Structure formats: C-alpha cells, structure tokens
Amino acid sequence: MNGIKNAVFTDKSIRLWKKNQYTFNVESGSTRTEIKQWVELFFGVKVIAMNSHRLPIKVKGRRVRSIKGHTKHYKRMIITLQPGYSIPPLKKERTSIKKH
C-alpha cells in the first residue's frame, strides 16, 4: 500500500506523541478507512480516531514558459491510538549525555 508517504516531525507533532497521536502525510486520493486499516495492519495497533486536512499548495519560485510550478497536493492525517498502544519506530527515548 502506497497510501502513507512519510511521518511528520514538527514541534506540534512531537507534542502530540504525549497524547498518543501520530502525524503522517498521505496521498491525496487515500480514504480514511484505507489509512486506518493499513496503520492497524502494519504497526499492529488499534486506531480510535483520525483527523485529516489538506495542506495548501505552495507556489515554487521557478517559472517555465510563463507557467509557475507548485508542490504536489497531499493530506495530513493525525491518528489517535488506543491507550497502551504506540508506534515503536516513532517513539524515541531521551538519552542523557554523560559529561566526563
């Protein structure tokens, strides 16, 4: 399944980890049920809620023959998991640096 493009690591998305919410960029044609099934199957978790929104298209500065370019259109999904579940590759442990 090529629905999920990548995980999002912004200040807000990292704060949402404490609420057991994870943020992903997904293909614009993907449905909520497809993404939910894929996340539950791939990560082995239970999804209780999903919020999505379309990000605005950004205009690129380069111009080709009087036509301006733009970024691809995609959706961003915020997925809430049931308590007790987490997505291990995205959960990072803080390590303390020992000073010598």
- Give me the mean pLDDT over the 33-51 stretch: 91
pLDDT band per the 50, 70, 90 thresholds, residue 69 = confident
What CATH number is given for 4-83 in this structure? 3.30.70.330
Residue 3: closest CA among 41, 40, 39: 39
Domain spans of the chain?
A: 4-83
Three-state DSSP class for residue 59? strand
pTM here is: 0.73
What one-character-per-residue DSSP string does 67-84 give?
A: EEEEPPPEEEEEEEEPTT
Return the DSSP state at 90. Answer: G
Token representation of residue 29: 């044609």
Q: Are 94 and 17 in contact (CB under 8 A)?
A: no
Average pLDDT, the chain: 81
